[in-house]
Structure 1
Amino acid sequence: MALQKRTIKIIVITVITLLIIAAFLGILLGLLLRSDKVELEVWPRGSDGSKEPKIFYKVSDNSTYLPWVRRINDTLSEYNKIRSESNARGKLVKCNYNAEASKDQVCDVDYNLFFPCTAANKYNYHTGKPCVFLKLNKVPNWKPNPYNNTESLPASMPSDLKQAIKPKSGQNEMNQVWVSCEGVSDADKNSIGSMQYIPSPYHGFPTYYFPYTKQELYLSPLVVVLFENPNLDTAINVVCKAWAKNIVEGAEQVSVRFQLKVDS
C-alpha cells in the first residue's frame, strides 16, 4: 500500500514538473517568435496566402480578376465588421493633424475616399488599371519617426517621393510613413507606367494613427496604389517601400515585392 502511494506521488510530481516545463517553454518560444519589426504588407494576397503575390489576370475574362476582387473584399470586411459594431459610435473618429484621437478613441479609416479603388468599382481591375492596398503590420507601442523635411531625406529615396515632400517641407501634414512603389529592374520601370497614391495628395500613413497600443476597434491605415497604365501582357516586378527614420532594416527601407501582369 505504501509503495502504491509512493508511486502515485512520483507520478503527480512528474506531471506537475512537466506542465511547468511546458509552460516555461511556451512563454520562451512566444518571446523568441514575437515580431516587433515593422513590416509592409500588400493586399490582395495570393490564392495560397502568399505575402508576395503574382497578380495575374485578363481584362476580358472576369473569372480571372474577380478572385482578386474577392480577396480585397475579405480584407476590408474586417474593417466593415469593426466599423459596424454597436460600440464603434463615438469611438471611431475622423482624424487629422489638428484633431487627433483622444485616449478613448481611435482614428477611422474611411475607404470611401479610395475611389476608384472601391468594391463597387471592382477596385478598377476590369479597366486594366488595378488597385493594390498597402498597410503596415501592427507593432505595439511603435511610433514612427518621419522624414518630414527635405534636410534629412536619404539618397536612395525615389525622386518623385522627394518632390512630393518638398513643397510642404516641415509642415504637420508631412508627418507620414511615406510609401513608394517602382519597378525592380530597368525593364520593369519602363513597363510599370504611372501610379496614383490614394488618398491623395500624400502617399503615406499619417502618424496620428500611431502608436498601436492594442486599443479596442483599432484600424490600420491603408495606402492604395492605382496602376494607371501598366504595359499589357507583361509581367512586372514591383517593389514598394515604407519610409521612416526608424524602420530601416540593414541599409534598406522596409519593403515588399509582388508581380503584376494585366493581359488584354
Structure 2
Amino acid sequence: MSALTLAVRDSHTMLRRNLLHARRYPSLTLNLLLTPVMLLLLFVYIFGDAMSAGIGGGDRSDYIAYLVPGLLLMTIGSTTIGTAVSVSTDMTEGIVARFRTMAIHRPSVLVGHVVGSVLQCVMSVILVGAVALAIGFRTTEATALEWLAALGLLALFATALTWIAVGMGLVSPNAEAASNNAMPLIFLPLISSTFVPVDAMPGWFQPIAEYQPFTPAIETLRGLLLGTEIGHNAWLAIAWCVALTTLGYLWSTSVFSRDPR
C-alpha cells in the first residue's frame, strides 16, 4: 500500500470517528450554535429598529441583510471552539497516545479533526442561514456564481479558523482551558463590522476593526450576496485565510509531532 493510499485511508477513518463523536454528543455543537442564533434574533427583534435607523435609516429588513453575513462568519468561529475542545480531550484522555503506538499515518489524527470541523461549520452555517431566511433575509441580487464564491469563502475561512483551533486544543492542558483559549474566535466578530459599520466606531479603533480577519471576510460576503462594494476586502480576506491556515497548520503539526502525551 502506497503512502498516499495509507494517508487517505487513515484520514477517512479519523474523519468518520470524529463525525460519530459529534453525532453521539451533539450538545456541545448545539450550545455553540445557540450563540449566533440568539444574537441574530436579539439584534433583529429587540434592537433591529434602532440599529437600522443608526446605519442609514432603513427598516428592519435592511438591517437583517446587513447583519446576516457577519453572523454566518461568527457561526464558524463559535463552531470551531468545539474543535479545540475535542482535540484537547483526545490529547488528555490518552487516545492519541494509543494512536502513536499503532501503524497509522500520524497526521491523519489532525486531518480527521480538521475535515470534520469544516463539515460541521458548513452544516452550522446552513442552519443559521435557514433561520435568517425564515425571518426575512433575502439575496435577490446574487447570481449563482456569487453564491458559489460566497460558499467557497466560508469554507476557506472555516479551514483557517479550524487549524488555529486545533493548535489551541493541542497546547491546552484540558478541555476547559481549550474552550477559554479559543474564545477570541467569538470575541473578534464582536469588534468587527458584524453589527455596525467600521466608520461608526471611534476613530482610534477603526483600523483595528477594519483590518482584523473577520471584517474583510464579512465585507466580501456582503458584496457577493448583497451587491455592496467589495474593494480591497476580497484580497485581504483571502490573505488572512491563507496566512491563518499556514500558521495553524505549522503550529499544530509542530506541537503534535513533539507532544509526549
After TM superposition, is the score higher than 0.5? no
Counting strand residues as a fraction of each chain, which structure ranks higher?
A: 1
Shorter chain as denominator, the TM-score bin is under 0.3
Q: Which has the larger radius of gyration?
A: 1
TM-score, normalising length: structure 2: 0.26
Counting helix residues as a fraction of each chain, which structure ranks higher?
A: 2
TM-score, normalising length: structure 1: 0.25
